[in-house]
Amino acid sequence: MSTHSTSTLEPDFTTALPRRSLLHRAYLLMRTADELARLYEENKTVTAKYVHATARGHEAIQLAAAFQLRPTDCATPYYRDDAMLLGMGLSPYELMLQLLAKRDDPFSGGRTYYGHPSLRRPGFPLIPHQSSATGMQAIPATGMAHGIKYLEGQGLLTSADQQPVVLCSIGDGAMTEGEVAEALQMAVLHQLPIVYVVQDNDWGISATGREMRAMNAYEFAAGFKGLHRLQLDGADFLASHSGMEEAFAYARRTRGPVLVHAKCPLLGHHTSGVRREWYRGDNLTQHALSDPLPRFHQQLLSLGFAETELTALADEARATVAADYKRALTAPAPDPATYLDHEFAPPAVIVESGERSPANAGKALMVDAALHAVDDILQEFPEALFYGQDVGGELGGVFREAALLAKKYGDARVFNTPIQEAYIVGSTAGMSAVGAKAIVEIQFADYIWPSLNQLVEELSKSCYLTNGKFPVQSLIRVPIGAYGGGGPYHSGSIESTLLTIRGIKVVYPSNAADMKGLLRAAFLDPNPVVLLEHKGLYWSKVPGTEDAKTTEPAAGYVIPLGKAAVAQQADAAKLRNGETCVVITYGMGVYWAKTASRELPGQVEILDLRTLNPLDYDAVEAAVRRHGKVLVLTEEPLLNSFAESLAGRIQRTCFRQLDAPVFTLGAANLPAIPLNVELERQMLPNAEKVGAMLQELLNY
C-alpha cells in the first residue's frame, strides 16, 4: 500500500502456527514497537505535543493477538496498542501521522489521539471508533459480536464461512467499570463470538492494582457462567501466541466468548503526559525484569536464529522507524477549512414521500402508528432488529408499543435485554459497524442517564472522529413526558440535555402520522437518532390531545428530519391586521397551544418543530417574520433550556421583525415532577397558563 514504508512487511492473516516466518515477523515488529517508543522519548519536545502512549512491555501479547486476526474479523484496540496495530499490518509511518495529527492520518485525519484507530480497509480487520474513556469499548465491541451472531443467524453474513470473531482489547484497571460487566453479561447470555484480551500491568495512572480492585480480571470473570477463561504470561510471545491461538479457535468453533488475562510489565510512561519517574520508583526496575523483548530474543536464539539475523532485524526496524519519522514530520497538516466536515453522514431521506392520508384509511393512535412503523421496517429490512427492556416476549413493551412483534419475528430479532441502558445504547455502535440496524428502547426518559457515557463517547463522536468512515446508524426510542401522576421517575423531559450532545439527532413527533413518517426516517438515517415519544399522546386520552390520533399513513411513508410543520394557521385577515402571534413548540405543547387558542380564534399560529436537531430554523424565522410576536413553549423546566436558547437566537436574528420580546413558557425550575396530580399541575404548563401568556403577548 502506498502509505506503507517499503521495508514494512505486509500482514499475513493466514499464519496460524509459530513458523519461522512468523517468529521472524514477530521479532521485527517487537523491535519496531521498541524503536517507536525510543524515538518518541528522544524527540519528546515534538512527539509529546499531543498525548500518546506506547506498547512498551505489552508487545508480546499484542502481537500474538494481532496475528490471529483475519480480514473478516473485527477489533477494538485501546490506546496503548500500537504493537497490535503493527501486527495487523499498519506501518510506523501511518501511526506517526496520527501521532503528529497530520492530514493523512488514516484513522481520523488528525482529529483524535495516537493509538485511537478506526479502519475500513480491504484485507484488514474492521476497526470502528473507540473513545479514550476506559472500558467503554467493551460494549460496542460486544455489540459487534452481537450483530455478527444476528446476521449469521439470518443468513445475511457473506463471510459466514470465515467464522468472524471480535477482538476487544482492554486494560485490567478498566475491568472495574460497570459497563464492562454489562458487556460480559450479554456476551455470555447470548454466547457471542468475542475474545476479550485483558492486558494487566498492575497500574492505572498512579494507582496500583491492589488499590483499585479486590481481584484480577481472570478471577472476576469466573462469575460469568459460560465465559471461557485463559490466563497467560503476556510478556512471553510464545506462550501468548499459543494462548491466543487457543482463544480464537474456541471462539470460532463454539461462537462463544473468551476472556484472556495477560500479565504484562509497564515499561513506558502511562502516557506522554504522565512521566514514569514521577511515581514509579523501584517498581520500574522490577517490571524491567519481565521485558518481553530480551526474553523473546533469547527464545529465538535457542530456536536456532543467529545473533546476526536478529541484529539485522533490529537494524531494519530502527531504519524504518527513523525514515518514517522523517517523512511524517514533513507530511501535510489538515486543511483548517475542513474542520466542519463529517458532523453527520448525509441523510438518507431528504423529501417527504409516500401517502400521508390514504383513501379509506382509518385513524390510528400514536402508539399504534409507532408499532406499525417498526413492523413495516422489520418486514422490509432483514438486517433490522429491535431490543430493550420488556419489548420482547409476551408483553411487547410497557406501553404495548411492540405488541406481538417478538411472536411475529422471533426472539433473535425482537428481544428483552437485562436492565442495562448503557448496553442497549452502546451496542448499537457495534451493530452499525458490522451492518446490523438496531432499533432500541429506553423504557422511560428518566432512565436514560446510565447510557450517556456510550451515547456521548462512542456514538455521537464516531462519524466526526473517523472522518466519516463510521457514522453510527442507531434509532433510540424514548418514551417521555408527564401526565396524570407519573411521578418523579417516569415523567421527566430530557431534550435539553440531549441537545447539548453534538453528533446526534433528536426527533419529537406530536401526532400519529408524524410518528410513522419520522420513525422511518430516523431508522433510515445513517446517524444516531433519539426519538422522543410523549406518553401522554400515545392514546389521545389526555383532554385536548384528540388530534394526536390521525389518519394512518401507508407503509413506507417518510418525513425528512429537520422539517417543521404548521400545526395551526392564523386567519389571513387578522395576520394582515397585525393581530396574530406564533407559538413555537413541539410534543404536548402543540395541544396546550391549540386548546388555549380557542379563546383567541384566528390569532394563533402553531409551529410544530417535530425535529429539535437538526432544527428547521428557516421555518422558525419565517414564522417570526410573519407575526412579529412569538411564544416559545416547552414542557421542560425553563431555566437554561432549549426553549430559552431558541428564544435568544430568535431575539438575535429577528430583532428588527419583533413587535414584542420573545416570550417563553415552561415547567417550574424544579429537580423532579411530584407524584401528586395537583402538584404536577402546578409545576407544568397547561392550556390555561398558555392562554394567559398569549393574551399578554398579543396585548403587548
Beta bridge partners of 608: 565, 585
Integer Cα distance of 456 and 478 in angstroms: 16
- Whether residue 537 contacts residue 496, with contact meaning beta carbons closer than 8 Å, is answered with no
- Whether residue 194 contacts residue 143, with contact meaning beta carbons closer than 8 Å, is answered with no
**Per the structure block, which three cell numbers stand in for 71?**
480480514
- Look up 490 and say whether it is catalytic: yes
> CA angle 582-588-590, nearest 5°?
25
Integer Cα distance of 167 and 124 in angstroms: 13
Identity (one letter) of the amino acid at 20?
A: R
Beta bridge partners of 126: 74
* Residue 390, phi then psi, degrees to nearest 5: 70, 15
Q: Among positive and negative, which fits the CA dihedral 201, 202, 207, 213?
A: positive
* Residue 202, phi then psi, degrees to nearest 5: 70, 20
- Peptide bond between residue 479 and the one before it cis (omega within 30 degrees of 0): no
Q: Which of 116, 372, 490, 627 does the annotation list as catalytic?
A: 490
- Three-class secondary structure of residue 181 per DSSP: helix
- Three-class secondary structure of residue 78 per DSSP: coil
Which of 36, 44, 49 lies closest to 110, judged by CA? Answer: 49
Identity (one letter) of the amino acid at 275?
A: R
Half-sphere exposure of 483 (CA within 13 A, CB side): 21
Q: N- to C-terminal Cα distance for the chain?
A: 69
Give me the residue label for grid cell 437554561: 640
Which of 75, 291, 239 lies closest to 167, judged by CA? Answer: 75
- Whether residue 439 contacts residue 523, with contact meaning beta carbons closer than 8 Å, is answered with yes
Which of 1, 35, 241 lies closest to 119, judged by CA? Answer: 1
Integer Cα distance of 394 and 367 in angstroms: 17
678-682: long-range contacts at Cβ-Cβ below 8 A with a sequence spacing of 24 or more?
A: 680/482, 680/484, 680/485, 680/491
Catalytically annotated residues: 490
